[in-house]
Structure 1
Amino acid sequence: MSTLSTVTDSTIDEEVEVTAEDLRAAIDQAEPGALLMSMVHVTGDLALLDEFEDILADSRSASAGETAKTHYGASSDAAVVLPGEFPTDVVVAIRKRAHEVLTTDVTPRLGVPEPGLFRRMAALCTVSEVDDEFIPILLEQGGFELGRRRVPVTKTPPADLDVIVIGAGMIGLNAAVKLDAAGFGYKVFEARDDIGGTWSRNIYPGAAVDTPSHYYSYSFELNPNWSRYYPTGPEYLEYMHAVAEKYDLIKNIELSTSVLSADWDEAEQKWTVVTRGADGRIQHHRAAAVVTALGVLNSINVPDIPGLDTFDGTVIHTAEWDPELDLTDKRVVVIGTGCTAVQLVANIVDDVAALAAVVRSPHWIVPEKSVVNDVPSGEKWAMKHLPYFQNWFRLKAYWLASDNLYMMPRIDPDWAATHLSVSALNDRVMQVSLRYLDQTFPDRPDLKEKMTPTVRPYAKRIVKDPGFLEALKRDHVSLHRASPTSVQPNGVTLSDGEFVEADIIVLATGFKVEYASFIDITGRNGEKLSDRWDGGNDPRAYLGIQVAGFPNLFVTAGPNAAPNHGAGHNITSEEHVHYIIENLQYLVENNMSSVDVKPEALAAYNERVDESLDKTVWAHPGEGVTGYYRNQQGRPIVPCPWRLVDYWTMLREPNTDDLVYTSRRAE
Structure 2
Amino acid sequence: MTLTWTSGGPAGAQERVTDAALGAAIDAADPGALLMTVVHATGDLSVLDEFEAKLAAAKHVRGADAAASQTHYGAQSGADAVPPGQFPREISEEVRERARAVLTADLPVRLDALDPETFRRMAALCTASTVDEEFVPLLLEQAGFEKSRRHVPVTTPPPADFDVIVIGAGMVGLNAAIKLGEAGFSYTVFEAAEGIGGTWWRNTYPGAAVDTPSHYYSYSFELNPNWTKYYPPGPEYLEYMRGVAEKYDLYRNIRLSTSVLSADWSEDDQSWTVVTRSADGTIERHRARAVVTALGMLNAPNIPDVEGLDTFEGEVVHTAEWDPRLDLTGKRVVILGTGCTAVQVVANIVDQVESLDAVVRSPHWIVPEKAVVNDVPEGERWAMRHLPYYQEWFRLKAYWLASDNLYPMPRIDPEWAATHLSASQPNDRVLQTALQHLRTSFPDRPDLIEKLTPDFRPYAKRIVKDPGFFAALNRDHVNLHRASFARVHPNGVTTTEGEFVEADVIIFATGFKLQFASYIDITGRGGRKLADEWDDGDDPRAYLGIQVSGFPNLFVTAGPNSAPNHGAGHNILSEEQVHYVVECLQHLVESGNTSMDVRAEVQEDYNRRVDQALDLTVWAHPGETATGYYRNKKGRVVVSCPWRLVDYWTMLRRPAVENFHFVGGVAEG
| % identical equivalent positions | 68
Contact 1:455 1:621 in 2 (8 A): no
User: Is residue 60 of structure 1 aligned with residue 83 of structure 2?
Assistant: no
1:120 aligned residue? 121
1:267-666 equivalences under 5 Å are: 267-620=268-621, 622=623, 624-663=625-664
Contact 2:416 2:423 in 1 (8 A): yes
Q: Cα 1:583–1:11, aligned 2, differ >3 Å: closer, same or farther? A: farther
Per-residue CA deviations over 1:469-520 (Å, capped at 9, x if unaligned) read 0000100000000011110111010111101000000000000111100000
The residue matched to 1:155 in structure 2 has which SS? coil
Deviation of 1:8 (Å): 9.1
Contact 1:594 1:661 in 2 (8 A): yes
Query: Which whole-Å CA distance do the structure 2 matches of 1:107 and 1:249 have between them?
Result: 36
Deviation of 1:16 (Å): 3.7
2:142 aligned residue? 141
> Which runs of 5 or more structure 1 residues have no equivalent in the other structure?
1-6
Per-residue CA deviations over 1:536-594 (Å, capped at 9, x if unaligned) read 00000000000000000000010000000000000000010000000000011111111
Q: Cα 1:319–1:67, aligned 2, differ >3 Å: closer, same or farther? A: closer
The residue matched to 2:204 in structure 1 has which SS? coil
Amino acid at match of 1:26: A
Higher alpha-carbon deviation: 49-58 or 215-224 = 49-58
Query: Which whole-Å CA distance do the structure 1 matches of 2:74 and 2:583 have between them?
Result: 45
Higher alpha-carbon deviation: 622-631 or 561-570 = 622-631
Deviation of 1:304 (Å): 1.3
Contact 1:207 1:232 in 2 (8 A): yes
Deviation of 1:75 (Å): 7.3
Deviation of 1:298 (Å): 1.2
Query: Which whole-Å CA distance do the structure 1 matches of 2:636 and 2:421 have between them?
Result: 21
The residue matched to 1:355 in structure 2 has which SS? strand
Amino acid at match of 2:191: E
Query: Which whole-Å CA distance do the structure 2 matches of 1:434 and 1:561 have between them?
Result: 30
The residue matched to 2:536 in structure 1 has which SS? helix
Higher alpha-carbon deviation: 84-93 or 165-174 = 84-93
Query: Which whole-Å CA distance do the structure 1 matches of 2:171 and 2:433 have between them?
Result: 32
The residue matched to 2:201 in structure 1 has which SS? helix
Deviation of 1:83 (Å): 1.2
* Cα RMSD, aligned residues only: 1.7
2:21 aligned residue? 22
Per-residue CA deviations over 1:4-38 (Å, capped at 9, x if unaligned) read xxx99548834442100010001111001000001
Query: Which whole-Å CA distance do the structure 1 matches of 2:480 and 2:74 have between them?
Result: 29
TM-score, length-normalised on structure 1? 0.97
The residue matched to 2:518 in structure 1 has which SS? coil
Q: Cα 1:55–1:75, aligned 2, differ >3 Å: closer, same or farther? A: closer
Deviation of 1:61 (Å): 3.3
Deviation of 1:76 (Å): 5.5
Q: How many equivalent residue pairs?
A: 660
Deviation of 1:59 (Å): 2.2
Contact 1:456 1:621 in 2 (8 A): no
1:4 aligned residue? none
Contact 1:592 1:662 in 2 (8 A): yes
Q: Cα 1:575–1:261, aligned 2, differ >3 Å: closer, same or farther? A: same
Contact 1:70 1:80 in 2 (8 A): no
The residue matched to 2:510 in structure 1 has which SS? coil
1:110 aligned residue? 111
Amino acid at match of 1:382: A
The residue matched to 1:298 in structure 2 has which SS? strand
1:118-267 equivalences under 5 Å are: 118-267=119-268
Contact 1:492 1:499 in 2 (8 A): yes
1:40 aligned residue? 39
Deviation of 1:160 (Å): 1.7
Higher alpha-carbon deviation: 296-305 or 578-587 = 296-305
> Which runs of 5 or more structure 2 residues have no equivalent in the other structure?
1-5
Contact 2:335 2:506 in 1 (8 A): yes
Q: Cα 1:199–1:73, aligned 2, differ >3 Å: closer, same or farther? A: closer
Contact 1:161 1:593 in 2 (8 A): no
2:3 aligned residue? none
Query: Which whole-Å CA distance do the structure 1 matches of 2:103 and 2:351 have between them?
Result: 46
